[in-house]
């Protein structure tokens, strides 16, 4: 049986970064699952910071951990390019900042150099769901 390729294998723990759950099935741990679920909700043309996602996932000081989850994520249904660094910096994207910039621009986000312009206009703020 072979593992799906989602990132470098941590031979000591037999898991991949950001996916501390079942290594054989490559299932994400609860925090990673929440992060991926939140990032899937970011609409085209909008962005959120690593800190925004960490806060929404219930761990406001875990921005770096969100970055690690994004770096390890190889899923095509998760728009990782919509997650940026604080202050509008584009940040990495598996080492391909040019691709991240192109994806954001294609969605109508204005990028100048390595920053998103007018972050206040394009920053995603999820609606609070009403609980009945």
How many other β-carbons are positioned within 10 Å of the β-carbon of residue 122? Answer: 20
Q: What is the C-alpha to C-alpha distance for residues 24 and 2, in angstroms, rounded to an integer?
A: 8
Report the SS3 class of residue 47: strand
For 65, the enclosing helix (H) or strand (E) is: helix 63-72
How many other β-carbons are positioned within 10 Å of the β-carbon of residue 118? Answer: 11
Residue 80 annotated to the active site: yes
How many other β-carbons are positioned within 10 Å of the β-carbon of residue 19? Answer: 22
Q: What is the C-alpha to C-alpha distance for residues 35 and 63, in angstroms, rounded to an integer?
A: 11
Catalytic residue among 56, 62, 73, 80: 80
Catalytically active residues, by annotation: 80
């Amino acid at each position: 049986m072979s593992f799906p390729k989602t990132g470098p294998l941590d031979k000591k723990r037999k898991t991949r970064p950001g996916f501390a759950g079942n290594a054989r099935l490559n299932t994400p741990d609860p925090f990673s699952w929440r992060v991926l679920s939140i990032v899937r909700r970011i609409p085209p043309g909008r962005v959120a910071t690593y800190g925004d996602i960490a806060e929404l996932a219930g761990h406001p000081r875990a921005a770096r951990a969100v970055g690690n989850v994004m770096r390890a994520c190889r899923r095509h249904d998760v728009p990782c390019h919509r997650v940026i660094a604080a202050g509008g910096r584009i940040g990495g994207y598996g080492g391909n900042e040019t691709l991240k910039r192109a994806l954001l621009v294609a969605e109508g986000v204005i990028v100048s150099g390595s920053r998103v312009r007018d972050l206040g206009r394009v920053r995603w703020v999820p609606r609070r769901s009403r609980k009945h």
